[in-house]
């Protein structure tokens, strides 16, 4: 287990501790189109940690909007966080969607330890994702989108990224730039799924960070350490984009 993976494991445990004071709901209010009693029975059929993916997965997408309220979401949040990094195939386990639901739940008004646990988890998941090759995992951009949706400055997120010495983190940067090349060059902003729900100012701030000289130097530092395939498919195309900025 890498240090980043260990930190992510600890962040998940910290959330179980921080939200342990939020009781399991005694009932669940839902949209008329949902079966409130059936959903409640499923969600309370086992202790939180032991809820199977299929038991809590559907709720992840329904939470707050059509099933339960913000307090219910807080109770189930540690298991949702865990699912987002172990089996993120369910609607509502995507980092930007979780962040949007946290905003709906007014998470910035929660006790300080719970707020800290939320951010610790998001950053830990982001840093763990950086150590994966771009062809693996759910993708670093989703965690970045989640973090800025929570209100974290793009500059702070990028500082954490560039501080990572992992070769895969540099390849992740190259992949992000290649994917965003057109919008970075023509409009100086990032775009795409989930991003369109983020303010234009934030998207432009992130684009500015991606186009900066320090980002170019970060990519150059990987040149002698990547495979020929990754160099030709990711690194060289990303570096060539800086000529267009």
Task: List the pLDDT tens digit at each of the 245 positions of the chain.
Answer: 899 999 999 999 999 999 999 999 999 999 999 999 999 999 999 999 999 999 999 999 999 999 999 999 999 999 999 999 999 999 999 999 999 999 999 999 999 999 999 999 999 999 999 999 999 867 899 999 999 999 999 999 999 999 999 999 999 999 999 999 999 999 999 999 899 899 999 999 999 999 999 999 999 999 889 999 999 999 999 999 998 88
How far is Cα 124 from Cα 58, in angstroms, rounded to an integer? 25
Q: Residue 225 has what pLDDT?
A: 92
From the list 31, 32, 33, the residue with the least C-alpha distance to 64 is 31
Q: Residue 245 has what pLDDT?
A: 83
Q: DSSP state, 63?
A: B
How far is Cα 222 from Cα 204, in angstroms, rounded to an integer? 26
Q: What angle do CA 201, 220, 185 make, to 5 degrees?
A: 35
Q: Residue 49 has what pLDDT?
A: 97
Q: Residue 208 has what pLDDT?
A: 96
Residues with Cβ < 8 Å from 195, sequence gap 6 or more?
145, 203
Check: CB of residue 194 under 8 Å from CB of residue 94: yes
Residues with Cβ < 8 Å from 159, sequence gap 6 or more?
none
Local structure of 30: helix, strand or coil: strand
Give the number of residues written for the chain: 245
Domain layout of the chain by residue ranges: 1-114, 131-245
Check: CB of residue 69 under 8 Å from CB of residue 28: no
């Amino acid at each position: 287990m890498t240090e980043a993976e260990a930190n992510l494991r600890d962040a998940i445990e910290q959330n179980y501790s921080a939200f342990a004071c939020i009781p399991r709901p005694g009932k669940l209010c839902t949209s008329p189109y949902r079966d409130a009693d059936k959903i409640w029975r499923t969600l309370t059929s086992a202790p939180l940690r032991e809820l199977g993916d299929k038991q809590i997965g559907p709720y992840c997408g329904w939470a707050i909007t059509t099933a339960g309220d913000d307090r219910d979401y807080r109770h189930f949040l540690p298991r949702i966080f865990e699912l987002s990094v172990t089996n993120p195939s369910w609607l509502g386990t995507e980092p930007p969607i979780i962040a949007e639901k946290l905003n709906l739940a007014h998470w910035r008004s929660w006790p300080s330890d719970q707020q800290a646990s939320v951010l610790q988890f998001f950053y830990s998941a982001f840093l763990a994702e950086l150590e994966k090759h771009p062809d693996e995992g759910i993708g670093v951009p989703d965690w970045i989108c989640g973090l800025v949706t929570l209100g974290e400055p793009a500059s702070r997120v990028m500082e954490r990224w560039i501080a990572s010495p992992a070769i895969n983190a540099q390849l992740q940067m190259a992949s992000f730039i290649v994917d965003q090349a057109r919008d970075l060059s023509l409009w100086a902003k990032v775009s795409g799924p989930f991003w369109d729900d983020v303010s234009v100012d934030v998207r432009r701030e992130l684009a500015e960070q991606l186009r900066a000289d320090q980002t170019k130097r970060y990519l150059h530092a990987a040149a002698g350490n990547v495979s020929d395939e990754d160099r030709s498919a990711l690194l060289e195309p990303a570096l060539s984009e800086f000529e267009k900025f």
